[in-house]
Structure 1
Amino acid sequence: MHRTCDFCGDPYPTWTLVGGEVAAVAIGTAGGLVQNFGHAWAACATCQTYIDDGRNDKVVDRAVQVLGFGNHPEARERIEQLHLAFLNARDPGRTLITTTAWPATAITARELPKVRDRLARFYHGADNLPTALVDTDARQQIAAGLNRSRLFWIDSDFTDLAEYAAQRLPDVTISRDLMPSTDGLLVWSRPVTGRQIAAASWTATSDGWHLVNYRTIGGGLDGKPLQRLREQVGWLGPMSTVQVHEQHLLPGDHPAAALLATWLLVAQQAAEVTTAEVDKALRKTYARTNRPAPEVRVVRIRADRGATPPSTRPASGDPGRSQTSRFWVSGHWRNQPYGPGRAHRRPVYINPFLRGPDDAPIKLSTTVRMLSSRKPNPETHE
């Protein structure tokens, strides 16, 4: 559902407020009309900043300006009546809107410890989340998990590979050895999949894990509203969560598919993991609170996996036929046996490769494939 700020019409509402039940009655010669505005209103970050500061007049001014009623004193008066009828009866508290499609905001590897700490503080705080997303016990578990989590930043090439692989992911059985750490927060260099997922976290519980997807928030804001949002919430807003347990089967089209694909690629040693330089001021902040210096792991494609040797195997389903050309086989998943007695199966990603005799020409195609092993600066995303 596409929502806007109920005060000014801003397309990026941030909070849901509960106040007075507001209705407007219009009476004319032909009869009357009642418009019910309800008791739950959405507020954008700017309007919420004015409300927090007790400047309801600024909320009205912003609405009048945005709606183009600056030269109509009577219109301003009517808008003020509606706003004050709601705000003067407002209940304490507010709920973060998790469905707003914010513009993407880049998060660098160096920023990741601060992003994690702000997100954990939000979970520990008093601001509400939709009850369908996270209940009280789960939020405290996730907050505690974030505080002890390992941090992973996925570079642009590996992000491309993970997104492509996630689109073809088979059903995956969750297991402890699938995850690169017991608790973790993972950020891709850009949002992935059509859901625009920017990050994901996993938190161990007594009977499994909480998996949470996040989008970046605050894109396009500046000044005090942005500063206030960063202080109160941070850079990431939860989108969805699921609780899983050992040997839980998740379908390949699950919202956590991008996270699962990234885990699987790391587990099959397709990744090269290095450590990012963390801001000096941030290290000092951790030292003052007797916390160990944060460590951010940067995940890239392994340099020795950038190409796959040509295969001389004949085409599948025609073992006796002599091949006169080589052709590309697209990247795909294959179930590989593992564990005691090789009784379990785990998807393993097979990179695109050439099939056919070594000396045969490559069949022409309009498709271009690239698997890069370059090492870009994680701060520039280039």
Structure 2
Amino acid sequence: MTDWARDPTLDGAGNWFRFFLGPSPDDATESRVFDRVDDVGTTIAETLAVQLPAAELFYVSADMTDLARHAADTLTDYRLHPEDLPAQIGVMVYEHPPVEGTAAARHNAVSVVTWAPGRGGLWVHTWATTSPSQQGIVRIGRTLAQAPRDEVLARARTAAARDLPEPTPENRPSESDETAEQVADHVLATFLPHLERAPVPPSFAPPHGYEWCALTPMEFTEMEGWPDGVSEDESSRDSEARIAMQRTILATWLLMGQTLVRSEQMTAPRAAQRRIERLDPVLDPTVRYIDLRRARTEPSDRPDEDFGNGTREYRHRWIVRGHWRNQYYPSRNDHRPIWIDPHFAGPEDKPLLGGERVNVLRR
């Protein structure tokens, strides 16, 4: 990703963002972060070229990924503080995509998150592997990149002037060759604005294997979910899935600052270290592996004997579900959500409510 961000050729990040985003994306939110005079695509490419080489690397285990997604469902609106971040600049890779199965397929494959300071607060990027459904358009894009640009532009302008409908089973010609031509013309018409502002990137999808999905310029202010950001071709139906993704990232950061999470420093294998050194000797080959500690049955801040010290006498034990609790921190005169693991509550010698049910949690 660092190599791609620094690459000045047509296959580098600069040309990729010019082609797909351009100076003023249609769906970019106008705010104090970006306005209509900004060249958004160029700005994003230039900041990534500076930020990615300086990022700390994090790998989030499958168990930790699952907990973060579960905890995100009940995370209340929260004012993020800069000290909540595990690093000022970071790249975080989830072992598997944390929000699979959403209504918006675009977020299903997101498994990489990068962040760094930016105008307005914090810039958070999400990245996804290219899905099988996108392979067709990737092949078309690579074909367009090999053709003379003037010829591609001329055909795209002709196709756009015809105002062709999107190909469907109902309006496709009977001949397969004619169908292929119709599909190609529709793709060319769709990409005409992109073709007019930049050459087609030869790899079409970034060569490092992760496709950029969205940038959220996140401000350190009160928020519901996160503020709208810059994305590539996002429709209104994506909003719930996007917020679920963003809340999961936020939950991951908050959980990483708690004692139930184990952080282990790991170094890349020797062969990978040599590749990194050839790319840039300054790049750090270490990764922090983020996993869950061994499960416990009692929360550390409330032992069983506390239940006998009040005026109420409990006759049963019960299971407390995992939940967030607002913990006050005098050092910053504010509250911070902390995750309380599922645990048993009540006197140890009392029967368990719902004792006929067995819950097994394997980590």
**TM-score bracket for this pair, using the shorter chain length:** 0.5 to 0.7
The residue matched to 1:246 in structure 2 has which SS?
Answer: coil
CA displacement at 1:359 relative to structure 2: 0.7
Is the 2:322–2:340 contact (alpha carbons within 8 Å) kept by the matching residues of 1? yes
Distance 1:312 1:123 in 2: 62
Structure-2 residue corresponding to 1:89: none
Query: Does residue 295 in structure 1 map to residue 286 in structure 2?
Result: yes
Distance 1:144 1:291 in 2: 13
CA displacement at 1:276 relative to structure 2: 2.9
Is the 2:324–2:340 contact (alpha carbons within 8 Å) kept by the matching residues of 1? yes
Which one scores higher on RCO, CA 8 angstroms, separation ≥ 6? 2
Structure-2 residue corresponding to 1:362: 352
Structure-1 residue corresponding to 2:15: 126
Deviations 1:6-25 (A, max 9, x none): xxxxxxxxxxxxxxxxxxxx
Distance 1:307 1:229 in 2: 51
CA displacement at 1:257 relative to structure 2: 0.8
Query: Does residue 239 in structure 1 map to residue 238 in structure 2?
Result: no
Structure 1 spans left out of the alignment, 5+ residues: 1-114, 373-382
Deviations 1:202-241 (A, max 9, x none): 111254211122222255979x96x985984322222222
> For the structure 1 residues 145 and 182, does the alpha-carbon distance in structure 2 shift closer, same or farther, using more than 3 Å as the test?
same
What stretches of structure 1 move > 4 A for 4+ residues in a row? 115-123, 218-222, 227-231, 312-315
Matches within 5 A, 1:225-374: 229=203, 232-251=206-225, 254=243, 255-288=245-278, 289-303=280-294, 306-308=296-298, 311=304, 321-340=312-331, 343-364=333-354, 366=357, 368=359, 370=361, 372=363
Report percent identity of matched pairs.
23
Distance 2:92 2:271 in 1: 22
Match for residue 130 of structure 2 among 214, 217, 222: 217
CA RMSD of aligned residues (A): 3.4
The residue matched to 2:277 in structure 1 has which SS?
Answer: helix
Distance 1:117 1:325 in 2: 60
- The structure carrying a bigger helix percent of its residues is 2
Distance 2:117 2:12 in 1: 16
CA displacement at 1:190 relative to structure 2: 0.5
Distance 2:66 2:275 in 1: 34
Matches within 5 A, 1:123-162: 124-127=13-16, 128-130=19-21, 131=25, 132=27, 135-162=41-68
> For the structure 1 residues 367 and 209, does the alpha-carbon distance in structure 2 shift closer, same or farther, using more than 3 Å as the test?
farther
CA displacement at 1:366 relative to structure 2: 4.6
Structure-2 residue corresponding to 1:202: 115
- The structure carrying a bigger strand percent of its residues is 1
Amino acid paired to 2:130: I
Is the 2:53–2:283 contact (alpha carbons within 8 Å) kept by the matching residues of 1? no
Structure-1 residue corresponding to 2:32: none
Structure-1 residue corresponding to 2:72: 166
Is the 1:335–1:345 contact (alpha carbons within 8 Å) kept by the matching residues of 2? yes
The residue matched to 1:186 in structure 2 has which SS?
Answer: strand
Distance 1:208 1:348 in 2: 23
Amino acid paired to 1:299: I
Count of aligned positions:
252
Deviations 1:225-281 (A, max 9, x none): 6x9859843222222221123345353873411111111011123321113341323
TM-score normalized with structure 1 length: 0.57
TM-score normalized with structure 2 length: 0.60
- Over alpha carbons, which structure has the higher Rg? 1
Structure 2 spans left out of the alignment, 5+ residues: 29-39, 143-201, 227-239
Deviations 1:334-360 (A, max 9, x none): 1111144x5211111111111111111
Is the 1:188–1:199 contact (alpha carbons within 8 Å) kept by the matching residues of 2? yes
- Identify which range, 351-360 or 253-262, moves more after superposition: 253-262
